[in-house]
Amino acid sequence: MIKNSIRVFALLLLPALWPGTSGAADAGAAPFADEITKQENIYQSRGEKQPEGYVVDRSLLSYTHTLAAGFDRSLADLGPTDRWLDIGAGQGQAVLDYFESRLRRDGLEHAERKAKAVAISIEDRRLPAWNETAAKLGGDQLQYLPGKPLREYLPGELGRFRLITDVIGGFSYSTNIFDFMTTVLSMLETNGTFYSLLQDVHAENGANKPYYAGATYLTEIAGADGSEVRICAWLKSISCVEVSCNLKTDWIPPIETYRVRKVCDDVKVPALTANRFLAGTPPERGFKLK
Ligand SMILES: C[S@@+](CC[C@H](N)C(=O)[O-])C[C@H]1O[C@@H](n2cnc3c(N)ncnc32)[C@H](O)[C@@H]1O
């Protein structure tokens, strides 16, 4: 069992105000200003102040066990001209593992034949191992871009990617998953795949209840008439994508994994407005279909 989330409350132990990362909070999040400040405190927390539920060091093996079936194949299929983006990479351990396993086994020449990888994170969690591996490989084989959330990158700034992953990163933390998915799908090549997950959501098959008695699901969408729209159904309503959703109960709380394959360019994501954001690891969020 993978215990992964301490809902909301650990952050109350954090100091009142962190100097903050410029622009780390999502724009358009003004109604949640206090909660965004608390959330930034979590991003910037270190050592004893870092909530137990804020995990930043998952390995590539952990990504493989966590994400939907097919992730390891998608990664293995990448060639030297392909690019992989990991959104919300924490210390970038999964990306490092991708290169280091090959460096150890086959030496520099083979590591260079791997895809190029870009890791983005709001806060800079790089350890010396990242800089050492980046220096060994040289060029732009692996890049770590800290300082802002995904939505603050300009169109075209990061280029396009064959594979995009997000393990409890921006998809779980952003104040608006509509903006997030729109940006992800604009960066994904046609026939490329996005692998991600959410914790404690109402699964496609409706088999699970909110994990904490008396609480809501962690991420919820309401239709224009107030009726429930499950996350999987919303993803499946995006044009030009093929989506599969799978509830995994070996996490506490359970997760739903998503595999989103882009099959054509005319992507339209049904718009959502955010109506609830409570800081946490990850935050609690509510959205309404426009
Ligand atoms: C809980 S850590 C997960 C780290 C890593 N994926 C892992 O599993 O170890 C959350 C990460 O998501 C990043 N993050 C949160 N919201 C983001 C956003 N909107 N855009 C990009 N990164 C984001 C944080 O800065 C942090 O790097």
**Is the CB of 121 within 6 Å of ligand 1?**
yes
Q: Give tens-digit pLDDT for 171-203.
A: 999 999 999 999 999 999 999 999 999 999 999
**Mutation test residue for ligand 1: of 63, 121, 130, 148, the one with most atoms within 8 Å of CB:** 121
Strand order in the sheet with 241-248: 142-146, 116-121, 83-87, 161-166, 188-199, 255-262, 241-248
Confidence at residue 152, expressed as pLDDT on a 0 to 100 scale: 95
Place of tokens 């989103």: 260
Q: Give tens-digit pLDDT for 217-261.
A: 999 999 999 999 999 999 999 999 999 999 999 999 999 999 999
43 CA distance to ligand 1 centroid (A)? 8
pLDDT band for position 103 (cuts 50, 70, 90):
confident
Mean pLDDT of the chain: 90
Q: Give tens-digit pLDDT for 52-95.
A: 999 999 999 999 999 999 999 999 999 999 999 999 999 999 99
107 CA distance to ligand 1 centroid (A)? 30
**Is the CB of 44 within 6 Å of ligand 1?**
no
226 CA distance to ligand 1 centroid (A)? 30
Concatenated DSSP letters for the chain? -EE--B-SGGGGGS-S-----TT-SPTT-GGGHHHHHHHHHHHH--GGGS-TT------HHHHHHHSPTTHHHHHHT--TT-EEEEES-TT-HHHHHHHHHHHHHH-HHHHTTSPEEEEEESS----HHHHHHHHHH-TTSEEEEESS-GGGSPTTSS--EEEEEESSSHHHH-S-HHHHHHHHHHHEEEEEEEEEEEES---TT-----SSTT---SEEEE-TTS-EE-HHHHHHTSTTEEEEEEEETTEES-EEEEEEEE-SS---PPPEEEEEEE-SBSPEEEEEE-
Confidence at residue 7, expressed as pLDDT on a 0 to 100 scale: 53
**Is the CB of 89 within 6 Å of ligand 1?**
yes
Tell whether the model's pLDDT for residue 208 goes beyond 60: yes
Q: How far is CA 221 from CA 25, 56, 59, 92, 246, in A?
A: 21, 27, 31, 30, 18
CATH architecture of 2-289: 3-Layer(aba) Sandwich (3.40)
**C-alpha span between 93 and 233 (Å, rounded):** 32
Asked if 240 and 216 count as a contact pair (C-beta separation under 8 A), the reply is no
What ligand 1 atom has the least distance to the C-alpha of 168? 3
Residue type, 255: I
Confidence at residue 283, expressed as pLDDT on a 0 to 100 scale: 98
Asked if 256 and 245 count as a contact pair (C-beta separation under 8 A), the reply is yes
pLDDT band for position 12 (cuts 50, 70, 90):
very low
**Is the CB of 122 within 6 Å of ligand 1?**
yes
**Is the CB of 67 within 6 Å of ligand 1?**
no
What ligand 1 atom has the least distance to the C-alpha of 174? 19
Confidence at residue 31, expressed as pLDDT on a 0 to 100 scale: 80
Query: Which residue has a Cα nearest atom 21 of ligand 1?
Result: 149
Confidence at residue 109, expressed as pLDDT on a 0 to 100 scale: 73
Give percent of the chain above pLDDT 70. 90
Tell whether the model's pLDDT for residue 19 goes beyond 50: no
Confidence at residue 23, expressed as pLDDT on a 0 to 100 scale: 41
**Is the CB of 123 within 6 Å of ligand 1?**
yes
* Pairing relationship of beta strands 142-146 and 116-121 according to DSSP bridges: parallel
Neighbours of 269 (CB within 10 A): 22
**Is the CB of 197 within 6 Å of ligand 1?**
no
Q: Give tens-digit pLDDT for 107-165.
A: 877 777 899 999 999 999 999 999 999 999 988 999 999 999 999 999 999 999 999 99
pTM above 0.85, yes or no: yes
Residue type, 146: P
Place of tokens 């959501």: 201
Neighbours of 161 (CB within 10 A): 25
121 CA distance to ligand 1 centroid (A)? 5
268 CA distance to ligand 1 centroid (A)? 25
Tell whether the model's pLDDT for residue 28 goes beyond 70: no
Domain ranges of the chain: 2-289
**Is the CB of 91 within 6 Å of ligand 1?**
no
